[in-house]
A and B are shown apart, each in its own frame.
Chain A
Amino acid sequence: MANTGNNDAFVAFERVQKSYDGETLVVKDLNLSLPKGEFLTMLGPSGSGKTTCLMMLAGFETATHGEIKLDGISINNIPPHKRGIGMVFQNYALFPHMTIAENLSFPLEVRKIGKSDREAKVKRALEMVEMGAFGGRRPAQLSGGQQQRVALARALVFEPELVLMDEPLGALDKQLREKMQFEITHLAHELGITTVYVTHDQTEALTMSDRVAVFNDGRIQQLAPPDELYESPQNSFVAQFIGENNTLAGTVQEIKDGLALVKLDNGDVIDATPVNVEKAGDRTLISIRPERVEFNRDRLSPDAHTLKAEVAEFIYMGDIFRTRLKVAGRDDFIIKTRNAPDQRRLKPGEMIEIGWLAEDCRALDAT
């Protein structure tokens, strides 16, 4: 959020709102800015307004309110074809009646670039995505992954400074997706392009991006680099949306020295770092990552609060053990432990005591 209103931002959304039907706001008060060369991902559940934001940026939807700036200039009234923004569509939108080379040549032709120049650029772009040999084919004669590369090459061939991608890998299988993720980030950084990338796959968002904007309900819930997003979620939506997460409901008893004492609904008391709780009596959801839970009493500070837990299930997963526990009236509490030589394997039915460092446990809003 620190970048909001930044004057040297390359792309900036300022108080942008969008409504399709005049009744509900699909995008509510969006403020976002990104510097040149950044790879920003919009991540969020379906219907959260990601595509809408992208379309407003590309110029296919108009903002109901607010301003969108590109390089400091408001582009609200500039038609899409004059914005010079490259775009990769979810279904690639390769023109079926043109060959691959013609597809790539199209943006250059409409820019009235000479024939020899055009051919050189098309060739270079195709080679960049390792599709040099396919120039004469039609899109229908390519596999999904190949089409994806061509779509990427087409969006880049006219050397835009900003590229938008709306779930470009959604139709690919897992392996290909991972390969393409790497290639896209690699290319984007190599060419120094500013990229806005939309996905609802959190792994994709975390691995590719410089920063991730988590969308929900038409708002950015948190805008942060991937590690910060994972380790310090700002609210319970982000905590639950990103990665695996254990939550326990309770009420704040007191907040003291940057530490909150939370009384769980079954009466147990636990330490947590207050994030968006303010005073004693607030309802809260505490959030703790499975790999930060400790059941070895020796490794916890002596005065730390602990909870009693019963082992419900032990799952061997190779590199890690995944154990499901019954804690504080819930039976979906997960802990993950590394498969190390000294690691104890818990047995179902075993009674243990669990605890954590207060800074790993975050007291978030209760909604």
Chain B
Amino acid sequence: MSDTTHTGPVLAADGTPLKRSLRRALRAQKLRALALIAPLLIFVLLTFIAPIADMLFRSVENQIVGRTLPMTVEELRDWDGEGTPADSVYRALYFDLFLAAEGKEHTKLGSRLNYEESGISSMFRTTGRDVDNIGKVYQKAIEKVNPAFGEGAFWYDMMSGGQGAEGNETLLSNQIGRLEGLESKTFKGDIGFVPGAEIYKILPNATRAYTAFAAFTVFMDEDVVAEEDPWEAVYPALLLDLREPATMAALAGYQGPGAQELRDLAAQADTLPPVDLKAALVESNEDWLRTEYWEVIKTYSPPYTTGYFLNAIDMEKTTDGIALRADDERIYGILFKRTMFMSMVITFSCIALGYPVAWIMSNLPARSANLLMILVLLPFWTSLLVRTSAWKIMLQQQGVINDVLVWLGLVADESRLVMINNQFGTIVAMTHILLPFMILPMYSVMQTIPQTYLRAAKSLGANNWTAFWRVYFPQSVPGIGAGSILVFILAIGYYITPEIVGGTTGTFISNRIAYHISTSLNWGLGAALGSILLAVVMVLYYAYDKIVGIDNVKLG
């Protein structure tokens, strides 16, 4: 018997290894357990884990620059950060901006970049309005030479290279992809247009611009490409192509639709206005010459950025690397410190006020303890807003407490105490609101400490204080720990109360987060601040675990 157990695995009655048959027996049990917790699991996943993951993602996500200005970002890569970028950058910017302006996405990019450098958003807005007119100059000039260039059908034939011509699917899907990035959507289906492979080789800019137009027409305007006149951007693109020295030669051998018209137009290219898109953009808004704006665009062109986090700790990216912001621009460091400090003060006030109450409750007979418990829980039955507003009424300068103090003659009428809209107000109101979260865990721990310990200590010769301090208090520490963690973590993320009674000096980091989420709409910064808050809480939790031991915490 003992021999077999030494030589091989233990076998079940039917000869299968015992471990495996045990696992099989347990699997059904596990599955059933999983099915039971599945609703909660899904709920938590959807409402808790997913938003946190989203927040963490948003705090570094920065795809908007690359998606709105893909070609510009590409061209900008070679810029050394001195002066203004090359003409090719402006050219790319024009075509990027044109598509973005058609989709009305350029303002979003403007607001995003405005977080980093104010003024950028108006630059994008004005130029976005002008891109049509910039193109129109060339359109008019070209149509004057040959009105056929004003016709949608003509363009359609020319750009598709005619019936049966070889198409360039790559270009098509690239342009659709560009539109998808811009609009953050996915577009599927045939657009009824494929750019000709040959014409693309001869007129790359025009074909690209037209293909973008085609995709936009189908997916955004839901029209038919062949029936629509192309948008303005294709004209400067066409002229750019025609100005290329090699284009003439390439056109000479071209047989596709519109070949003759193109050759004619190319012959007269010199009489058409020069395509200086840089000048046009600068004329629309001089700020396009500003180096620091281009720096911002370049700095924030990668899809992920540490910019929000740097911002959240009062730092910024400059051309010399990462640096602390100027003194008067630093706010988040102060806010974080203040939040931590005030949460600690609130936690300690809760311990000081709650401990005696929990002690009394745990020593009273059940009936009176229940009554006290109801009193402790009473605040939960009133709306948070009402309670906070009540504190406002109590503490304000014309409020109840000041009135009483003045009436008692303790405070002169002229020098009423300022107790609200500052840190004091926030601490008082939040201590009151969070007190039950301290009392309940302390009470539940104290309830389990029998009175006989105190009696034993006294019988051993300890006076009341020593018996309490050496024997009772250490055993109640788990309750204090649990209450403190609860109160501190709740306090550190509290929002409504500091918002109402905090004024300017008593607000928390959470108020700033809320501001970025709902007012300034700088979600990335809000998310970065939130992530830092989350990290701080987790670090504190870890430290607590190391110092006190988390198994020393009892919640019930």
Contact = CB atoms under 8 A, between A and B. Distances in A.
Residue with the highest number of chain A CB atoms closer than 10 Å, among B456, B464, B466, B467: B456
A61 to B, nearest CB: 10
A89 B466 CA distance: 19
B455 A96 contact: no
Contacts of B452: 89, 91, 93
B459 interface: yes
Residue among A60, A79, A95 with the highest chain B CB neighbour number at 10 A: A95
A39 B462 CA distance: 26
A interface residue count range (under 10 / 10 to 19 / 20 to 34 / 35 or more): 20 to 34
A295 interface: no
Nearest to B471: A95
A155 B58 CA distance: 65
Contacts of A86: 459-460
Interface in B9-26: none
B461 A87 contact: no
Interface in B51-87: none
Contact of B470 (A83, A106, A155, A158): A106
A95 B450 CA distance: 11
B305 interface: no
A299 interface: no
B457 interface: yes
A81 B475 contact: no
Nearest to B466: A110
Nearest to A81: B458
Given A89-B455, A93-B456, A106 B462 contact: yes
Most chain B Cβ neighbours within 10 Å, of A58, A110, A155: A110
A97 B474 contact: yes
Given A97-B474, A106-B470, A110-B466, A91 B450 contact: yes
A110 B453 CA distance: 15
Contacts of A93: 450, 452-453, 455-456
Interface in A86-137: 86-87, 89, 91, 93, 95-97, 106-107, 110-111
Contacts of A91: 450, 452
Contact-residue bracket for chain B: 10 to 19
B459 A85 contact: yes
Interface string B458-483: 11111110110011001100000000
A95 B459 CA distance: 13
Contact of A110 (B450, B455, B460, B475): B460
B470 A80 contact: no
Nearest to A97: B474
Contacts, number: 64
A154 B471 CA distance: 15
Contacts of B458: 59-60, 79-81
A84 B457 CA distance: 12
B145 to A, nearest CB: 96
Contact of B460 (A60, A96, A158): A158
Interface in B419-469: 450, 452-453, 455-464, 466-467
A80 B462 CA distance: 9
Contacts of B467: 81
A106 B460 CA distance: 8
A82 to B, nearest CB: 8
A59 B470 CA distance: 20
B467 to A, nearest CB: 8
A155 B212 CA distance: 93
Given A95-B471, A97-B474, A106-B470, A111 B450 contact: no
Contacts of B450: 91, 93
Contacts of B457: 95, 106
A135 to B, nearest CB: 17
A154 B453 CA distance: 13
A56 to B, nearest CB: 13
Interface in A117-176: 154-155, 158
Contacts of B466: 110
Contacts of B459: 58, 80-81, 83, 85-87, 155
Interface string A46-88: 0000000000001110000000000000000001111111110
A111 B464 CA distance: 14
Given A95-B471, A106-B470, A111 B461 contact: yes
Contacts of A154: 460
Contacts of A59: 458
Contact of B455 (A60, A82, A84, A106): A60
A193 to B, nearest CB: 15
B448 to A, nearest CB: 11
Contacts of B471: 95, 106
Contacts of B460: 81, 86, 106-107, 110, 154-155, 158
Nearest to A85: B459
Interface in B321-349: none
Interface string B175-199: 0000000000000000000000000
A110 B456 contact: no
A157 to B, nearest CB: 9
Contacts of A110: 460-463, 466
Contacts of A83: 459
A16 B379 CA distance: 48
A118 B421 CA distance: 57
Nearest to A87: B459
From A79, A91, A93, A154, residue with most partner B Cβ within 10 Å = A93
B469 to A, nearest CB: 11
A58 B44 CA distance: 55
A85 B470 CA distance: 20
A90 B471 CA distance: 18
A158 B456 contact: no
A71 B100 CA distance: 101
Contacts of B463: 79, 81, 110
Nearest to A151: B456
Nearest to A154: B460
In this complex, which of B452, B459, B467, B471 has the most chain A Cβ atoms within 10 angstroms of its Cβ?
B459
A95 B460 CA distance: 12
Contacts of A87: 455-456, 459
A113 B450 CA distance: 28
Contact of B462 (A58, A81, A84, A96): A81
Contacts of A158: 460-461
Contacts of A111: 461
A98 to B, nearest CB: 8
B456 A81 contact: no
Interface in A175-221: none
A96 B474 CA distance: 10
A233 B461 CA distance: 40
Contacts of A89: 452, 455-456
A343 B54 CA distance: 94
Query: Which of B458, B467, B474, B475 has most A Cβ within 10 Å?
Result: B458
Given A87-B456, A107-B461, 17 more contacts: A58-B459, A59-B458, A60-B458, A80-B455, A80-B459, A81-B462, A81-B464, A85-B459, A91-B450, A93-B452, A93-B453, A96-B475, A106-B471, A110-B460, A110-B461, A110-B462, A154-B460
Closest 5 CB pairs of A and B: A93-B456, A107-B460, A87-B459, A80-B458, A93-B452
5 contacts: A80-B455, A85-B459, A89-B456, A95-B453, A95-B475
Interface of B: 450, 452-453, 455-464, 466-467, 470-471, 474-475
